[in-house]
Amino acid sequence: MKVNNVILQFTAKIVFFIIFFFAIHIFFAGHYTPGGGFVGGLVTASAIVLLIIAFDLNTVQRLLPINYVYLVAIGLILALGTAAISMFVDQPFFTHFFDYFYLPLFGKTSLHTAALFDLGVYLVVVGVTMTIIQTIGDDE
């Protein structure tokens, strides 16, 4: 019997974007409110897992042709690189920098290098979670 998943697949397509944007929101809100790279990464991974449940592993891999192991490595390099910036300006390792900028559209915004570090954490969490799920899912 052929199972028709039309409702699940249609809902998943919409809900994916809601979850994904919520994850981005959590990620950027992390400095002043609960949230940050770790939860943001997990929620993003859960959005991709929803797609995998609604469709299947191969479809999602074609949709998002990402090598998640490389994503982990890039995230780690980003985190280490952010921490290492301070080494080149003669400050102790892991010293962060911030300043206020006037961006068009956003107005006065504080930009902090901790966000870059968090982006590294985000990528590592997404990469690790997806590697685990894909590897177990692929296993025959």
Burial class (CB in 10 A: 0-12, 13-18, 19+), 85: middle
Q: Is 90 in the site for other proteins (CB under 8 A)?
A: yes
Burial class (CB in 10 A: 0-12, 13-18, 19+), 2: exposed
Residue 106 Cα to chain centre, angstroms: 22
Q: Is 98 in the site for other proteins (CB under 8 A)?
A: no
Query: What's the rounded Cα separation, in Å, for the pair 19 and 50?
Result: 10
Both tokens assigned to 90: 């003669």
3, 32, 65, 92: which one binds other proteins (CB under 8 A): 92
Q: How far is the CB of 19 from other proteins (least distance, A)?
A: 28
Q: How far is the CB of 5 from other proteins (least distance, A)?
A: 35
133 touches 52 (CB < 8 A): yes
As a whole number of angstroms, the longest Cα–Cα distance in the chain is 68
What string marks each residue from 19 to 58 as x (binds other proteins by CB under 8 A) or -?
Answer: ----------------------------------------
59-88 positions binding other proteins, by CB under 8 A:
69-70, 72-73, 76-77, 80, 84, 86-87
Q: Could you tell me how many residues of this chain bind other proteins (CB under 8 A)?
A: 17
46 or 113: CB nearest other proteins: 113
Residues that bind other proteins (CB under 8 A): 69-70, 72-73, 76-77, 80, 84, 86-87, 90-96
